[in-house]
Amino acid sequence: MLGSVLALQRDEHMRMTAVVARLQPAARALLDVVAIAAALAFLVLVIEPAFEFAADEVYVTTPALGIVNSWRAAALPVGLGLMLVVAALKLATVGDLRRIATAVAVVVAIMAVFWLLGPVLKPLGKLNLLIFFVGLVGAMVFAAVPIAFAFGLATFGYLALTTTTPEVVLIGRMDEGMSHLILLSVPLFVFLGLLIEMTGMARAMVAFLASLLGHVRGGLHYVLVGAMYLVSGISGSKAADMAAVAPVLFPEMQKRGAKPGDLVALLSATGAQTETIPPSLVLITIGSVTGVSISALFTGGLLPGVVLAVLLCLMVWWRYRNEDLSHVRRATGREIGKALVVAIPALALPFVIRAAVVEGVATATEVSTIGIVYSVLAGLLIYRQFPPKRLYPMLIETAALSGAILLIIGAATGMAWALTQSGFSAALAKVMMQVPGGAPTFLAVTIVAFVILGSVLEGIPAIVLFGPLLFPIARQIGVHDVHYAMVVILAMGIGLFAPPFGVGYYAACAISRIHPDEGMKPIVGYMVMLLIGTIVIAAVPWLSIGFL
C-alpha cells in the first residue's frame, strides 16, 4: 500500500493514454486533472469502509504471530488515507484554479447523475453489468483514469447503487486479491531486474551474444531476441528487461545502419515474445488467480518463447538479408572465449532460477530471494559493479511499480468478484460452452479477446479479471490449464505491445528514446509473426505441455 502511495505521487499508476495523447493540449491537460479527481473520488468513497474492514478484523487472530489481524488489515485504511492526501495535494498543484474546478465539477456531476439514477438502475438486473463494467470502465480507461481506480470506482458504484451488498465487502475482496503469498515475489523480481542491470550482469550476457553473432547479417538483431529471452528469465519485469538490453545494443546497431523505428519495433516484439519466459510476473499472477501450478507454468513457458523467437528471427533474416557488413570485424575465438568467461556467472542465473522452481527446491517467492542474493554477490565479487548510492532509488522504484501492480490486482479482484456474484461468470460459461467448434473455436475466440483486452487493460488486469472466469470453461471443454495459459499470455502480449493502444510499445519507445511514430510501420511484420506463432502454439498443445 505504501508502494501505491509512491506510485500515485510519481504518476506511475498504469493508465491508457493513447487516446488522450491525440487530443489538443488544453483537452489533454483537463483530462489529466479529471483523472486525479476521479482517483480522489474513489479514495473518499472507500476510506470509511476500509477503516470498518480493519476494525472488524480485530476478531481474527493470526495463527503464527498470535496478534489480531487488524495490524495487517490496517495497511488498507492507512494506504488509502495517504493516497487521499497525496491525490488532494496533486489536485491542488496540478493546474490553474479554473481547470481544477472544471475537473472536480465533471467528476461530481457524473457521480450525482449515477446516484440520482439509483432507483432506476436497480430493476435493470444484468444490464447494469454493461453500464458499469463496460460503459463506465471503458469511458474512464479511455479518459486516462488510472486503471486500478477505474476498476474500483465502477465496482463501488455497481455494489452501492444496484445491490444490497455492503461497501466493506469490496475492501475485503481487494485485501484478498493483494494478500496472496505468491504475490510477494512481485516486488522481489522487480528489484532483481533492476539489480542485474546495475551489477553489469545483463551487459555481460549481451556482450557474449554479440561476440558470437555480431558479424552475421542482422546479427545484432538476433542478439536482441536472444538477450531478451535470457534476461526475461531473470528479471520477470518487461520494463526491466528492455531497460537492461536496449542501452547496451542500440548504439552499435545504429552505427551499423539499423533504423531507429525497426529497433524499437523489434524491442516491442521481443517484449511480447518473452511474456511466457519464467519467472514472468504474468505467469506468477495467472498462477495466483487461477490456481494453476506455478512450477508447471514455468516449465510450459519456455518452448512457446522459443517458437516465437524463431519466427521473429525469420523476419529479421528477411529484412537484413542484404545488409552490408564489409566494415564489421568478426570476433576472434579468443575474444569469444573471454566474453564467455565473463558472462558465465550471468548466464547461469536463469538456469539456477528455473531449476530451483521446477525441481521443487524453492517456490517462486523463495527463488526470487535466491536470485537477489546471487546478483548481489556476483556484483560485489565478480563484476565489481555495485554502486551503493543507486540502491535507494532502486528500492523506491521497486516499491512504486509493485504498488501499482498490486493495487490493480486488488481492484480487479473486487471487480471479478462482483461479476461472479452477479451470475455473469455462469452466463459467460454457458455461452462459451455453446460456441460451435469446441476447443479450436474457443481458443480462436480467446486469442481475439485477449489481443483486444491486452491493448486496453494491459496484461495483469486483464488476466486477474478474466482468468478466474475463463479457465474453468477451458477445463470443461478439454483444454489443458497450462496450454490455455500460454495462449492467453501470448495473445495478451500482442495486444500489450501493439500500437496504437499497446502501453508496452510506448514503454519501449520511452526506454529507447525513439519517437513512437517511427516504429509504427516496421512493427507490423513482427506482430504478424507473433500472431502466427500464437496460432501455432494454440494448435499444437505439445509445445506448452510436452515437458510437464
Task: Give the DSSP letter string of 243-303.
Answer: HHHHHHHHHHHHHTT--HHHHHHHHHHHHHHGGGSTT-HHHHHHHHHH---HHHHHHHTHH
Cell numbers 548481489 correspond to what residue? 376
pLDDT at 363 over 90: no
What are the grid coordinates assigned to 339, written together?
Answer: 566474453
pLDDT for the residue 243: 73
pTM (predicted TM-score):
0.76
Other CB atoms within 10 A of residue 79 CB: 21
The pLDDT confidence band at residue 207, using thresholds 50, 70 and 90, is confident
Residue 236 has pLDDT above 60, yes or no: no
Residue-range domain boundaries for the chain: 2-179, 180-548
Where does residue 438 fall: left (phi above 0), alpha (psi -120 to 50 degrees), or beta otherwise?
left
Give the pLDDT band (50/70/90) at residue 459: low
Answer yes or no: is pLDDT of 186 > 80: no
Give yes or no for residue 501 having a pLDDT over 70: no
Q: How far apart are CA 311 and CA 448, in angstroms?
A: 20
Q: Check if the beta carbon of residue 539 is closer than 8 Å to that of residue 489.
A: no
Q: Please tell me the least confidently modeled range out of 8-22, 201-215, 422-436, 488-502.
A: 422-436
Percent of the chain surpassing pLDDT 70: 94
| Residue 309: predicted pLDDT | 93
Three-class SS state of 61: strand
Local confidence band at 536 (pLDDT 50, 70, 90 cut-offs): very high
Task: Report d(CA 160, CA 149) in Å as an integer.
Answer: 16
pLDDT computed for residue 288 by the predictor: 82
Strand partners, 516: none
Q: Do 185 and 191 touch, CB atoms closer than 8 A?
A: no
What cell was used for 102? 472544471
Cell, residue 444: 480462436
All three cell numbers of 296, joined, read: 508447471
Of 360-374, 406-420, 421-435, 520-534, the range with the lowest mean pLDDT is 421-435
Instruction: Please tell me the predicted confidence (pLDDT) of residue 326.
Output: 67
Residue of 260, 210, 258 lying closest to 230 (CA atoms): 210
Q: How far apart are CA 58 and CA 55, in angstroms?
A: 6
List alpha helices for 57-146, DSSP H: 70-73, 75-93, 97-116, 118-121, 127-129, 137-142
What pLDDT, in 10s, does the model give residues 37-69? 999 999 999 999 999 999 999 999 988 888 999
